[in-house]
Amino acid sequence: MVCAAMLVGAKTAHAQQQTVNFTIGYFAPHGEDARTAGDVLVANRDFLVFNIDDFDTASVGGEWLFPVGDFLEGGIGVGFSRRTVPTFYRDFKANDGTEIVSDMRLRTVPTTFSVRLLPLGRHIGFQPYIGAGLAVIAWRYSETGDFIDFNNNSAIFRDSFVNTGADVGPVVVGGIRGASRTFSAGFEIRYQSAEGTLDNSFAGSKIDLGGWTYNGTFGFRF
């Protein structure tokens, strides 16, 4: 459905009004009870001190929106979010009594392909919408700092472990906007779901990339 909408939209967009849309908002990853089995953040909480919602962070994005008839709209967009969370071992300290600290960092860059339904049409000033599509989420997860080698007399060492990937999952969006001939502004909620696979350097084998994004939107129409 998404691919068909893109093809139709590409042929009709020159004759109809398009929008270059920008978003700024707040990304809240899945909570601990909703994360995928084997998730590294859930596994890390067994021995590190932090909360899953410490990974809540700002997000920004841009999107090209083009009409497909009077009640449908196609969209191709990209977003960006990144968060670094400091942590330390729950039950262990260095010989001098200081905490053994490290940083966990998660970066996501979702590229989305979506189709939206505008039930009241796109020619009125008040435009609610709901849509769905696919997100290709490029991600980078790292742990950097001091660690304990339990296989070597609990020796403390410093290192950095990094995995990257790109994984596909569904995206759902809903919102409202006010639109004039040249400008639009509104609010929307997005949900995405995907998971990446980590190597055996980490306590968990997966990284859950899903969550909710709450965006303010503004766009230029032409």
Looking at the 3D structure of the chain, how many domains does it have?
1
Half-sphere exposure of 51 (CA within 13 A, CB side): 5
Residue 90: inside a domain, yes or no?
A: yes
For residue 6, pLDDT beyond 60: no
Q: For 44, phi and psi rounded to 5 degrees?
A: -65, -30
pLDDT, tens digit, 9 for 90 and up, residues 28-73: 999 999 999 999 999 999 999 999 999 999 999 999 999 998 999 9
pLDDT of res. 122: 86
How does residue 16 score in pLDDT terms, banded at 50, 70 and 90? low
Asked if residue 16 belongs to a domain, the reply is no
What pTM did the predictor assign?
0.88
Residues 182-200, mean pLDDT to the nearest whole number? 97
36 token code pair: 């995928």
Range of the domain at 150: 2-10+22-221
Residue 51 placed within a domain: yes
Residue 15 lies in a domain: no
Question: Is 31 among the domain residues?
Answer: yes
CATH number at residue 114: 2.40.160.20
In a domain, 216, yes or no: yes
Q: How many helices (H) and strands (E) does the chain have?
A: 2, 10
- 128 located within any domain: yes
Which one-letter DSSP state was computed for residue 15? G
Q: Is the pLDDT of residue 7 over 70?
A: no
Q: What percent of the chain has pLDDT over 70?
A: 93
Report pLDDT for 123.
86
pLDDT for residue 10 is more than 80: no
